[in-house]
Structure 1
Amino acid sequence: MPTNPETHTYRQVAESFGVDAARYDRTRPRYPDEMIRTILAATTPHRDVLDVGCGTGISSQPFLDAGCAVLGVEPDPRMAGVARLRGVEVEESTFEAWDPGGRTFDLVVAGQTWHWVDPVVGARRAAEVLRPHGRLAVFWNGMQPEPALAEAFAAITARLLPEAPVLSSAAGAYETMSGTAASGMITAGGFDEPETWQFAWERRYTRDEWLDQLPTFGFHTRLPAERLQPILEANGAAVDEAGGAFTMQFTAIAVSARRR
């Protein structure tokens, strides 16, 4: 996945995740409860939520579960279709082009998607639709495998997918994205000083669970079968070498600012 400040210009990658929307919804990690509680506690009231780039509704679900009314904005109709199956109301558009029609919200969120939005334009648009003292909260799950596996995965990417960036730390990449998001909020104006919150959690992956998720990652989503299969086989062999399962360390990173 591109991780520079211009990530939002990579539209082919940004709009490729719906190639297997059901797999994406099934395999992608959820968000820690502590992070959701922190966002909601900082937002009073939090009845009406706008989810930018809601995808299949993974980021919408915890706010629905908390009793909020959630409207999703999603450019990919395949992803939007899955979100609707879980009860999310979705309008199909990029956030930059979306017409709010005079509607306003208590909370604007974006889970694993804000790097696909122009950080300044997106923050300005969020400020326009937020009620006074409403909150913008954008968040990501950064993942870090065990050191030996991280090295093995990086070597596989360098060998079989050289056009993709090889990251020493995916969590570090998301820290870069969160910094870009905070800068965008400051540049856009209309917000108090952004806050950054981090929440550590972990998940155990079996070999099959990891290989099921891998095709949903950026760059992998657009690969033909003859290129994807060797990557899956090499990753499977690496996990087998590690004992057939491994623990992924996650850091959920949220950047949040209150509308003045």
Structure 2
Amino acid sequence: MPTPAASTPEQPYQARHTAESFGTDAERYDRARPRYPDALVNRVTESAPGPDILDVGCGTGIAARQFQAAGCRVLGVEPDARMAELARQLGVGIDVDVATFEEWDPDGREFDAVVAGTAWHWIDPVAGAAKAARVLRPGGLLAPFWHVFQLPPHLAEAVADVCERVVPDAPFDFRALAARPALDTSQTLFDKAADGIRAATGGFGEPEQWQYDWERTYTRDEWLDQMPTQGAFTRLPPDRLAQILDGVGAAVDAMGGSFTMPYATVAIAATRTTSRW
């Protein structure tokens, strides 16, 4: 199931109230959110002309630390000061500028790759690609990427049931999201990112879509720890959130207390051409 906020009538990057809500519990976010496949990190570093990485919407620095471990120098840009501060604390040698990417001032700095881990949909896709072109060295790589997960059918139905009951006024259709294959639902998001790159001023080659399939087994407690970090739930009142977690927890208990989640991590990657503008 993709991030439900990506399916609302409002463009995700316009939903600043949601985009800047993840720092409500930054420690939980960093603890519970999954990391990115090593194969993706390695492909980005091997495709970039050098080690300087700009991590857009870096959050608590999950991806930034992975790129740093791969030998890169990383600067983050993050609009939420709470998330940025934790990223600085957890990533020794990682600095973070607090700003939206559209308003961020690069101050003459250039990079070999611009990445964004599950964050590019919070950025205007055309303005974001144009800003990336401005800061990338010739041959540099723009590579936003996302996790897409598919809840087991029984659990997806249980989530839809409890969310429809507890949050009947939600701005998205939980049941429709549960019924559709997650990659199908998210492809619109990937297409918008690719179209934004094509439309941006400043030359990029034709975007490519990379996909890495993997899976993770969650215990009941691990999944209930992650759910409050998802955009559908970050702004819920505590009593409503507790009701949802109780209902979902009961469904996981009925499955034996754990389940295996298929993931796909998808990147839209494009190389900065050698021409300047």
TM-score by length of structure 1 reads 0.96
**2:271 aligned residue:** 258
Instruction: Report SS of the residue matched to 1:181.
Output: helix
Q: Partners in 2 of 1:78 and 1:171 — Cα distance?
A: 31
**1:172 aligned residue:** 184
1:27 deviation in Å?
Answer: 0.3
**1:183 aligned residue:** 195
**1:97 aligned residue:** 103
Q: Which amino acid aligns with 1:142?
A: V
Q: Partners in 2 of 1:98 and 1:61 — Cα distance?
A: 21
Verify: 1:110 aligned to 2:116, yes or no: yes
**1:77 aligned residue:** 81
**1:133 aligned residue:** 139
**What's the CA shift string for 1:103-153, capped at 9, x where partnerless?**
110000000000000000000000000001101000000011222222222
Q: Partners in 2 of 1:67 and 1:103 — Cα distance?
A: 19
Aligned length: 259
Q: Partners in 2 of 1:55 and 1:172 — Cα distance?
A: 26
**1:7 aligned residue:** 12
Q: Partners in 1 of 2:60 and 2:184 — Cα distance?
A: 25
**What's the CA shift string for 1:178-197, capped at 9, x where partnerless?**
11100100011410000001
**What's the CA shift string for 1:35-93, capped at 9, x where partnerless?**
11122222222x10000000000111111001111000001010001100122200100
Task: Say which of 14, 21, 24 aligns to 1:19.
Answer: 24
Verify: 1:231 aligned to 2:244, yes or no: yes
**1:247 aligned residue:** 260
Query: Cα gap change, 1:82/1:173 in structure 2, threshold over 3 Å: closer, same or farther?
Result: farther
The answer to whether the Cα contact below 8 Å between 1:3 and 1:173 also exists between their aligned partners in 2 is no
**1:193 aligned residue:** 206
1:158 deviation in Å?
Answer: 2.3
Q: Which amino acid aligns with 2:5?
A: P
1:176 deviation in Å?
Answer: 2.0
1:170 deviation in Å?
Answer: 3.7
The answer to whether the Cα contact below 8 Å between 2:48 and 2:113 also exists between their aligned partners in 1 is yes
Instruction: Report SS of the residue matched to 1:3.
Output: helix
Verify: 1:202 aligned to 2:215, yes or no: yes
Q: Partners in 2 of 1:219 and 1:145 — Cα distance?
A: 15
Within a 5 Å distance, the mapping from 1:59-70 to structure 2 comes to 59-70=63-74
The answer to whether the Cα contact below 8 Å between 2:59 and 2:84 also exists between their aligned partners in 1 is yes
Instruction: Report SS of the residue matched to 1:203.
Output: strand
Task: Say which of 157, 164, 170 aligns to 1:158.
Answer: 164
TM-score by length of structure 2 reads 0.90
**1:30 aligned residue:** 35
- Structure 1 unpaired stretches of 5+: none
- Structure 2 unpaired stretches of 5+: none
**What's the CA shift string for 1:181-233, capped at 9, x where partnerless?**
00100011410000001100000000011111111111311111111111010
Q: Which amino acid aligns with 2:52?
A: D
Instruction: Report SS of the residue matched to 2:256.
Output: coil
Identity %: 53
1:164 deviation in Å?
Answer: 4.5
Query: Cα gap change, 1:197/1:218 in structure 2, threshold over 3 Å: closer, same or farther?
Result: same
Q: Which amino acid aligns with 2:80?
A: D
1:241 deviation in Å?
Answer: 1.0
Q: Which amino acid aligns with 1:106?
A: D
1:28 deviation in Å?
Answer: 0.3
Instruction: Report SS of the residue matched to 2:18.
Output: helix
Instruction: Report SS of the residue matched to 1:159.
Output: helix
